[in-house]
């Protein structure tokens, strides 16, 4: 168990509303990631963090922002949700050095109506 908790596990929201997803880790790892999974696309990187207040964009970052004010928490925010952001969102941590595998949480299923 990599000690990753994602909340909420499920959420339904309306177009145009703000949404924040939370990823919490218990092991003080430096690197944290947000991916989304969609049919036909696999998992795609949204944003990642390499330390407190240190974040960078992934390949599908438009419409998303992140924050990391504490080592253990990495937040993903959709400022104004759109139907194209309906997806399953996974948080991941890297437990070791470069090229260590990422370990994933169990995901948040978000539906934007």
Name the site residues for other proteins (rule: CB under 8 A). 4, 31, 33, 35, 40-45, 48, 50, 56, 58-59, 90, 92, 94, 98-107
Residue holding tokens 């050095």? 97
Residue with smaller CB distance to other proteins, 14 or 56? 56
Distance of closest approach, residue 77 Cβ to other proteins, in angstroms: 20
Distance of closest approach, residue 55 Cβ to other proteins, in angstroms: 11
Among the listed residues 36, 30, 29, 37, the one whose alpha carbon sits nearest the alpha carbon of residue 2? 29
């Amino acid at each position: 168990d990599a000690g990753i908790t994602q909340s909420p596990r499920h959420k339904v929201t309306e177009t145009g509303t703000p949404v924040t997803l939370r990823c919490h880790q218990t092991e003080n790892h430096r690197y944290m990631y947000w991916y989304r999974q969609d049919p036909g696309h696999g998992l795609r990187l949204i944003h990642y963090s390499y330390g407190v207040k240190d974040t960078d964009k992934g390949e599908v970052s438009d419409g998303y922002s992140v924050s990391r004010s504490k080592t253990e928490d990495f937040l993903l925010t959709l400022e104004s949700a759109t139907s194209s952001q309906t997806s399953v969102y996974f948080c991941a941590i890297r437990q070791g050095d470069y090229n260590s595998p990422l370990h994933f949480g169990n995901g948040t299923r978000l539906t934007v109506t």
